[in-house]
Structure 1
Amino acid sequence: MRSYLAPGDYLPHDAPMVLLDAVLDVSADSARCQVSLNQGGVLTPFLDSEGRLPGWYALELMAQTVGVWSGWHRHQQGEKRISLGMVLGARDLECKIDLFPANATLEIAVHLLMQDSRFGSFEAVICHNEHPVATGRINTFQPDDAELAQLFNQESP
């Protein structure tokens, strides 16, 4: 069984924007992460007064799981720098519930459908109690340093 770093070690985010608790598994074409919706957890700033998380967070949970997949692979290749990735869009994104329930533990899984050097497409599912509560396809893009500099109106390296 492999051991994994914390999700934030694979993502270009700092707290409170790391929305995942743990990396469960990463393979050549998939990743699984987990997060608990409890007071004092990573999602605390985003929970409503009853401890629930709005369903529209599903896209970011899926996107961060894709980011963990990408970051883990870069880490395995010896890359020290965490690269910024971008969500180009989501297709067939469906959240079957308006609010993820308080004290729930969510498992987020992504599966690579297609990838070239800079674009990727992933099927994603979020499960609560082993039942799918959100599904969709996430399309991603990996900008290079010059594109990032242009995006953020900075000089290219």
Structure 2
Amino acid sequence: MTINSCAADFLPHKTPMVLVERVIAVNDDSVHCQVSTAKEGCLAPFLTTQGELPAWFGVEIMAQTVGVWSGWQAKRAGSTLILPGMLLGGRGWRATQSTFPANATLDITIRLLMRDDRMGSFEGEIYHGERLLASGRLNTYQPNKEELQQLMSQGNQP
């Protein structure tokens, strides 16, 4: 389904931690988002002096694209609450260069490989035009409200 909307509508994050800008398309098994490395974009605080983005940001960009997919699923199911997810790890992550180019539109595509209850495995790529910049597989966990509350209360203990 092509939706062309703001990615932040599907994420529990707030600026400056939203690292994807637009949702191009999303369905039951995949999501396509975009983000710009322009100096005016959401990635501006993280750009090098040359305007490039360190490639290691790609892991979080891909994880947030998974988050967009999850948030879309929650909204489609009628939920008004979008819960944060957890990135458990990645496999086969590789970037073709150490930075992503300046003033570029990055296309992030993610495909669901497997989902079991609240755990998921996703495979994705980041492209600039036809050029593959990064790819890998992400494993995620979606905690429920009670688990999130427990995690938050543990963080507040001395």
Q: Same fold (TM over 0.5)?
A: yes
Consecutive unaligned residues in structure 2, runs of 5 or more = none
Pairing of 1:96-111 with structure 2 (within 5 A) = 96-111=96-111
Q: What amino acid is aligned across from residue 89 of structure 2 in structure 1?
A: G
Q: Matched residue of 2:56: which SS?
A: helix
Q: What is aligned with 2:63?
A: 63
Consecutive unaligned residues in structure 1, runs of 5 or more = none
Q: What is aligned with 2:3?
A: 3
Mapped contact 2:3–2:26 kept (Cα < 8 A): no
Q: Deviations over 1:57-92 (max 9, x none)?
A: 010010000000010111111100011100000001
Matched residues in 1 for 2:38 and 2:121: separation?
31
Runs of 4 or more consecutive aligned structure 1 residues displaced over 6 Å after TM superposition: none
Q: CA deviation at 1:3?
A: 2.7
Could you tell me the percent identity over the aligned residues?
A: 50
* Worse-superposed segment, 142-151 or 1-10: 1-10
Q: Matched residue of 1:5: which SS?
A: strand
Mapped contact 2:16–2:42 kept (Cα < 8 A): yes
Mapped contact 2:83–2:145 kept (Cα < 8 A): no
Q: CA deviation at 1:9?
A: 0.9
Pairing of 1:8-157 with structure 2 (within 5 A) = 8-153=8-153
Q: What is the TM-score normalised by the length of structure 1? A: 0.94
Q: Matched residue of 2:14: which SS?
A: coil
Q: Matched residue of 2:5: which SS?
A: coil
Q: Deviations over 1:3-33 (max 9, x none)?
A: 3431111001001111111101001100000
Q: What amino acid is aligned across from residue 130 of structure 1 in structure 2?
A: E
Matched residues in 2 for 1:33 and 1:113: separation?
18
Q: CA deviation at 1:132?
A: 1.3
Q: CA deviation at 1:131?
A: 1.8
Matched residues in 2 for 1:19 and 1:83: separation?
17
Matched residues in 2 for 1:104 and 1:115: separation?
32
Q: What is the TM-score normalised by the length of structure 2? A: 0.93
Matched residues in 1 for 2:100 and 2:3: separation?
28
Matched residues in 2 for 1:134 and 1:2: separation?
24
Matched residues in 1 for 2:2 and 2:62: separation?
22
C-alpha RMSD of the superposition: 1.2
Q: CA deviation at 1:127?
A: 0.6
The 3 A distance-change label for structure 1 pair 72 and 90 is: same
